[in-house]
Structure 1
Amino acid sequence: MLTEDPSVAEQGITVARHERGLVLSGEVESPHRREEILRRVAERFPDTPVTSDIGVIRTQAPSQVEELP
């Protein structure tokens, strides 16, 4: 569902079914994207509890130079 939806097209999210509901895990580029994914899953499975373990990765360029030994 997340891969085929053109407005989401997310392939990096893993969905696991547990006895208490669904657990979504992975990483996305923004909090807005994470919320959109959670909203769509909740719409599709309204009677199923959804737990999010989706992290947000940094998408901006680093602000500091990395010093290597």
Structure 2
Amino acid sequence: MNDYTEAEVQRALAEDLGVAEQGITVVRADTGLVLGGEVESPHRRDEIVRLVHERFPGVAFAVDIGVTRAGAPTEAEELA
């Protein structure tokens, strides 16, 4: 891992056509990198992890990516 690894991971996440993710943070930690943020599904998180593993096989990283549960509203919103 070099001084530019965070930026390289960030760029790979944004530029990969299958992922195209700009909302994930990449932070250097003592043990490697930490991927953080929120995505809309476990599948999306898995795709991000897969991409980082494939493109950066020698880099250790932890995943702190949550899944945002966005569902359809269950009741009408009252507008005043």
- TM-score (normalizing by structure 2): 0.73
Task: Say if 2:36 is the partner of 1:25.
Answer: yes
Unpaired segments ≥5 residues, structure 2: 1-11
Identity of aligned residues (%): 62
What is the distance in 1 between the residues matched to 2:46 and 2:70? 17
Q: How does 1:27-66 map to 2 (within 5 A)?
A: 27-63=38-74
- TM-score (normalizing by structure 1): 0.83
Unpaired segments ≥5 residues, structure 1: none
Question: In angstroms, what is the RMSD of aligned CA positions?
Answer: 1.6
More helix by share: 2
The one-letter code sitting in structure 2 at the alignment partner of 1:51 is A
Moved over 3 A (4+): 62-66
What is the distance in 1 between the residues matched to 2:25 and 2:60? 16
More strand by share: 1
